[in-house]
Structure 1
Amino acid sequence: MVEETSVEETVLPGDAGREWWQEAVVYEIYPQSFNDSDGDGIGDLQGIAEKVDYLDDLGVDAVWLTPIYDSPHADNGYDVRDYRSILEEFGTMADFEALLAELHDRDIRVVLDIVLNHTSDEHEWFQRSRREKDGYESFYHWVDGEPDEPPNNWTTGFGGSAWTYDEVRGAWYLHLFDEKQPDLNWRTPAVREMMHEEVRFWLEKGVDGFRLDVFNVMSKPEGYPDGDPEEEWVGIEHFANGPRIHEYLRGLSEDVLSEYDAMTVGEGMDLSPRDAKRYCGPSGDGLSMTYHYGHTSLDVGEDGWWDVVDWEVSEVRSVLSDWARALELTDAWNTVYLGTHDTPRIVSRFGNDDRYRYESATLLATVLLTMPATPFLFQGDEIGMANYPWSAREEMRDADATNRVDTAIESGAIESFAEAEGVVRYRSRDNARTPVQWTDGEHAGFTDGEPWIPVNPDHDRVNVAADRDRDDSIFRFYSDLIDVRDDTEALRYGVYDLLTDDHPRVWAYTRRTGDEVVLIAVNWAGRTSRVDLGSAGTVESVLACNYDDPGTDLSSIALRPYEARVYRLS
């Protein structure tokens, strides 16, 4: 039985003051893989501009652009060489300004990815720092020592030591990611001041906010103590949510962000709901929201990246429900996502990219667009793009996966790429970075040239043109459900009540405001499942369903494989 809750007793989250980003649907664009306008095989800003009507048709309210700054692209743009210049392959500042205007003309906001923790080793700050010139000596984390003795046992997020010995300076520098991404030393006041100005530069350009890359690892402890060697990311207990991180973020918020109507979403490592409350809102550090990896790490076993384990619907339901309830009625707003540029394709990871591609893709859309949070969609998911069948090291571009594979081969853990193929096919970030499949033509209509990364061979049947012509269109389901969300107060601000906390396959919940109740029920499995939701109320109308004839008797629902239903209750 389902326990009834009085609607009259409901207190609405967000009543204290609603912001545009609380109602927005955000669409992430990975520019180099979105659309190429000039035939060089790399997506660009003019290519995005060519597709603004597509974004408008989908109905999104904001786009998040991953880094477009000048960069040597050791880590696909997250190694910034100049924060105030556009990567030449992407276009010019004039191209960006034109794209910004095109999107704003359609009431679509623009959120940029900003990398606060590190720069490229080709950034002029690092070049001056390694030569100990012009007051830049302490801009990065430098430690003197012998060339064969790293300062501590910390590792990078990609595997291997987090320290590289620099022959020019004769000292070790810290990099929590690739060795071409040295970490900035935020203990240095000049670093904070200059990074504040980099953020202000783009706000003055008219951008509407930022996604803060790995924001909560910016603060490192004095002395750089050794980390727990049993952790996959050795040292994370020292630098995730580090000792001065709140000071740094409050400074950024008070000095810069508070002067603008800007959205900020922080990518948090090892983040809990309690941490999020401290980072967000006026009673915290001033960020709009954070996002975490609780549900996207469920398929990672005890041996880390190499250990792929099965996930359960109950686990995903538990993680996302816990976050929803923990942040409800606070001034820390929630986010929900299933995939980004750093994860496998959601229909391959959480759905069924073969027999039930449409059904599972639209089920995932339903969860994303009906949970109490700002939803983040990733390019291509709106047509059910799937993982790529990687079969050779040479096909790959992902610094994370290639570093891990190369290190494993060098250490003798594996003999060849073939032994890693299964894990790479499942985990590689390149899965999300293959070009958007616009047509069934050569290179999927992404480019007239040779694409920088291979196009998925399934583009002959999975592409935008084909999907939008189908009766069972994933794109249309997303677009229609975004419209439903826009028109339904309960789906934007309603209180979340979980109805099925022990069903192995069905996730059902309601969203409630004072005069509106919406019921969402999804069968996250490739088999029919039954559930009794009769005590939830009486169906007034069907708002969305990915099957025909969903029925309205809640007392005995037979949900078909990957079926998703959204009801308005009376």
Structure 2
Amino acid sequence: MEKWWQKEVVYQIYPKSFKDSNGDGIGDLQGIIEKLDYFSDLGVTSLWLCPIYASPMDDNGYDISDYYAINPMFGTMEDLDELIKKGKARGIKIIMDLVVNHTSDEHPWFKAAIADPTSKYRNYYIFKHGKDGRAPTNWRSIFGGSVWQKVTEDEYYFHAFSKKQPCLNWENPVLRQEIYQMINWWLDKGIAGFRVDAINFIKKDQRYQDGEPDGEDGLVSCIPFARNQPGIEVFFKELKENTFAKHDCMTISEAYGVSYDKLGIYIGENGCFDSMFDFNYSNFDIGDNEEWFIRKDWTAKQFRDLLFTSQVEVNKVGWVGTFLENHDQPRSLDKLIVNKADHGYYSATMIASMYFFLRGVPYIYQGEELGMANCVRRSIDDFDDISSHGQYQRMLEEGFSESEALALVNKRSRDNSRTPMPFDDSQYAGFSDVEPWLALNESYPVINVKAQFNDLDSVYSFYKKMIYLRQQSVYSNTLTFGSFIPDECENDNLIVYQRSYQGQLIVNVCNFSNQEQPFICAKELILNNYKEYDGKVLKPYQTIMYLEENK
């Protein structure tokens, strides 16, 4: 049965870096309200907001100190109510980020747990005694260093991420009910749904045993012990029954490292969530433990194979959120188009078409619709991103020089996608009237909204065309609900696939190279990022889409 959320086009906002309305250099809710007409012009139908809850901002809001309050740097609850109301008037829904694997160490629950070891809140988190004068296990956190933080001479608390993000104890049913109550409160408030953060970390290996060290620090990645653990489906089932199933909402889970045989836990008829992000094709350039210095060589064909496998396997079970960028990824141009000399309109629009018309709900990350690329930082001190500093230290421990480590951090830093949104070429890019909290991308005088808004040959205008085709054209049903059919063409430089629905067959062709490639097509084109196509040869980074059948 078709669902309303399957028709959405979602725009992801990193609020701190979107638009500053009050002159403090930090983006806020009123700044988002200010730009609602921009979203209407683009054509998106939902806005996903990265966390705006009360937070000390150790990890830019993914460390929540009060689930029921708005961080004053972003505004007030009244501002959010206004955004929901004004968005609804424009047909734009609001999706919140849901972070329930961990809280901030400044959350009242954790403060109470530390202050009184006998309080009920102690069991809201994971506390363990040390072993032989050391931490309970030798697991390494996602951000580097031990997952254990000492609180007394022989007691530690567990954090899969930063030490300021203690993990919640999902084994505790009282804690789970607190979480469900909070989720229902937000859905009753009028938000359309949630993107669910790090949800596959909520179940830990209860044996808490050491692993074989995998680095010079004597530690082992916590991922095999704290992510996608057996039994997590029990938590998911209860979560869904107590919250999402009671509302006509939209949910999408962040689910790194989920094997395709486990998809049914997450999505589909018996899954907890409406859809999920599949990262099996997004982290193709780094190792399985997601350490940036373990680089993988890749070819266009290998990327195509990962992409097609994802589509085929996920579509057997349910729905996926299709994406190239988010707040945790570098810009897709730098990741997919390695030669910076090739960055520009054609390469940006080619990779856009490649992902946007896959089967799933498309997500656009702020600035992606402008063709933004990575920024360049000249010192590790210039990075705000907590994981960039952690990865940098890991690289030094593994023997990389400072310059080598800095180069790798520049390639992969989350700051690449978190630079302030460039609205024009003024001193602070129209983001603010004062110096922003994070340095602007140096490309902003050229790559900005004002430069592209009325230019019919801009990346922005190409995104508008794609959204129109999916949302309002005679091809909408096929591009939304149509089955995905991979085309294993012999030319490894091409990514070709079909979408089929009720007798209508659409073919999407992407030239993933900076050279001309042969491709014969005599059909009338639906979409083309060049002004011409001779029916025989694709130009460098050309993408075309055409109607093959219409029975």
TM value normalised by structure 2: 0.94
Cα RMSD between the aligned structures?
A: 1.9
Q: Which residue of the partner structure matches residue 525 of structure 2? A: 542
Q: CA deviation at 1:420?
A: 1.7
Q: Which residue of the partner structure matches residue 344 of structure 1? A: 330
Q: CA deviation at 1:288?
A: 0.4
Amino acid at match of 1:448: D
Q: Distance in 1 between matches of 2:59 and 2:85?
A: 29
Residue 561 (1) aligns with residue 540 (2): yes
Moved more, 110-119 or 233-242: 233-242
Residue 274 (1) aligns with residue 261 (2): yes
Q: Distance in 2 between matches of 1:356 and 1:450?
A: 27
Structure 1 residues 148 and 467: alpha-carbon distance in aligned structure 2, compared to 1, 3 A threshold: farther
Mapping 1:500-539, distance limit 5 Å: 500-532=488-520, 539=523
Amino acid at match of 2:199: F
Tell me the alpha carbon deviations over residues 30-68 of structure 1, each in whole angstroms, 9 at most, x when there is no partner: 000000001101100000000011011111111110000
Q: Distance in 1 between matches of 2:213 and 2:517?
A: 44
Mapping 1:215-234, distance limit 5 Å: 215-230=199-214, 234=221
Q: Which residue of the partner structure matches residue 448 of structure 1? A: 433
Q: Distance in 1 between matches of 2:283 and 2:412?
A: 11
Q: CA deviation at 1:223?
A: 2.3
Q: Distance in 1 between matches of 2:331 and 2:251?
A: 25
Q: Which residue of the partner structure matches residue 70 of structure 1? A: 54
Q: Distance in 1 between matches of 2:288 and 2:3?
A: 40
Q: Which has the higher contact order (CA 8 A, sep 6+)?
A: 1
Q: Distance in 1 between matches of 2:15 and 2:283?
A: 26
Counterpart of 1:108 (choices 92, 95, 98) is 92
Amino acid at match of 2:322: V
Tell me the alpha carbon deviations over residues 521-560 of structure 1, each in whole angstroms, 9 at most, x when there is no partner: 000111111235x6xxx62x31111001224x4xxx3111
Say if 1:323 and 1:334, in contact at 8 Å, map to a contact too: no
Amino acid at match of 1:23: K
Q: Distance in 1 between matches of 2:230 and 2:304?
A: 32
Q: CA deviation at 1:90?
A: 0.2
| 3-state SS in 1 of match to 2:208 | coil
Amino acid at match of 1:543: I
Q: Distance in 2 between matches of 1:111 and 1:227?
A: 38
Moved more, 217-226 or 188-197: 217-226
Amino acid at match of 2:312: R
Moved more, 292-301 or 117-126: 292-301
Tell me the alpha carbon deviations over residues 368-394 of structure 1, each in whole angstroms, 9 at most, x when there is no partner: 221111111100000011111111122
Q: Distance in 2 between matches of 1:324 and 1:277?
A: 15
Q: CA deviation at 1:328?
A: 2.6
Q: Which residue of the partner structure matches residue 478 of structure 1? A: 463
Tell me the alpha carbon deviations over residues 451-486 of structure 1, each in whole angstroms, 9 at most, x when there is no partner: 111001111111110122434211110011111112
Q: Distance in 1 between matches of 2:394 and 2:113?
A: 29
Residue 149 (1) aligns with residue 125 (2): no
Amino acid at match of 2:244: L
Q: Which residue of the partner structure matches residue 433 of structure 1? A: 418
Q: Distance in 1 between matches of 2:514 and 2:395?
A: 36
Q: Distance in 1 between matches of 2:500 and 2:507?
A: 9
Q: CA deviation at 1:404?
A: 2.2
Q: Distance in 1 between matches of 2:194 and 2:288?
A: 33
Residue 244 (1) aligns with residue 242 (2): no
Q: Distance in 2 between matches of 1:85 and 1:325?
A: 41
Q: Which residue of the partner structure matches residue 212 of structure 1? A: 196
Residue 466 (1) aligns with residue 451 (2): yes
Q: CA deviation at 1:334?
A: 2.0
Q: Distance in 2 between matches of 1:189 and 1:329?
A: 33
Say if 1:276 and 1:289, in contact at 8 Å, map to a contact too: no
Counterpart of 1:40 (choices 9, 24, 35) is 24
Q: Distance in 2 between matches of 1:254 and 1:563?
A: 47
Amino acid at match of 1:382: E
Say if 1:227 and 1:236, in contact at 8 Å, map to a contact too: no
Q: CA deviation at 1:134?
A: 3.4
| 3-state SS in 2 of match to 1:64 | strand
Counterpart of 2:312 (choices 319, 325, 344) is 325
Structure 1 residues 281 and 517: alpha-carbon distance in aligned structure 2, compared to 1, 3 A threshold: same
Structure 1 residues 185 and 44: alpha-carbon distance in aligned structure 2, compared to 1, 3 A threshold: same
Counterpart of 2:242 (choices 255, 278, 283) is 255
| 3-state SS in 2 of match to 1:121 | coil
Q: CA deviation at 1:564?
A: 0.5
Residue 402 (1) aligns with residue 381 (2): no
Q: Which residue of the partner structure matches residue 282 of structure 2? A: 296
Q: Distance in 1 between matches of 2:62 and 2:370?
A: 27
Residue 366 (1) aligns with residue 353 (2): yes
Q: Which residue of the partner structure matches residue 139 of structure 1? A: 124
Tell me the alpha carbon deviations over residues 474-518 of structure 1, each in whole angstroms, 9 at most, x when there is no partner: 111001111111222111111222223542210111111122111
Q: Distance in 1 between matches of 2:118 and 2:430?
A: 49
Q: Distance in 2 between matches of 1:479 and 1:233?
A: 46
Counterpart of 2:273 (choices 264, 277, 287) is 287
Q: CA deviation at 1:238?
A: 2.5
Structure 1 residues 233 and 274: alpha-carbon distance in aligned structure 2, compared to 1, 3 A threshold: farther
Amino acid at match of 2:545: V
Q: Distance in 2 between matches of 1:415 and 1:324?
A: 39
Structure 1 residues 354 and 205: alpha-carbon distance in aligned structure 2, compared to 1, 3 A threshold: farther
Q: Distance in 1 between matches of 2:489 and 2:165?
A: 43
Residue 385 (1) aligns with residue 372 (2): yes
Q: Distance in 2 between matches of 1:412 and 1:266?
A: 33
Amino acid at match of 2:37: D
Moved more, 143-152 or 557-566: 143-152
Tell me the alpha carbon deviations over residues 231-290 of structure 1, each in whole angstroms, 9 at most, x when there is no partner: 9962322322223311111111111111111111110121122222222133x2331011
Say if 1:228 and 1:235, in contact at 8 Å, map to a contact too: no
Say if 2:287 and 2:296, in contact at 8 Å, map to a contact too: yes
Say if 2:138 and 2:220, in contact at 8 Å, map to a contact too: no
Amino acid at match of 2:464: S
Unpaired runs of 5+ residues, structure 1, are 1-16
Q: Distance in 1 between matches of 2:132 and 2:194?
A: 38
Say if 2:323 and 2:356, in contact at 8 Å, map to a contact too: no
Q: Distance in 1 between matches of 2:491 and 2:163?
A: 46
Tell me the alpha carbon deviations over residues 326-374 of structure 1, each in whole angstroms, 9 at most, x when there is no partner: 23353x2122111100010112221365444101111122122211111
Q: Distance in 2 between matches of 1:156 and 1:462?
A: 37
Structure 1 residues 310 and 407: alpha-carbon distance in aligned structure 2, compared to 1, 3 A threshold: closer
Q: Distance in 2 between matches of 1:263 and 1:558?
A: 42
Amino acid at match of 2:101: N
Q: Distance in 1 between matches of 2:138 and 2:514?
A: 45
Q: Distance in 2 between matches of 1:141 and 1:501?
A: 51
Number of aligned residue pairs: 540
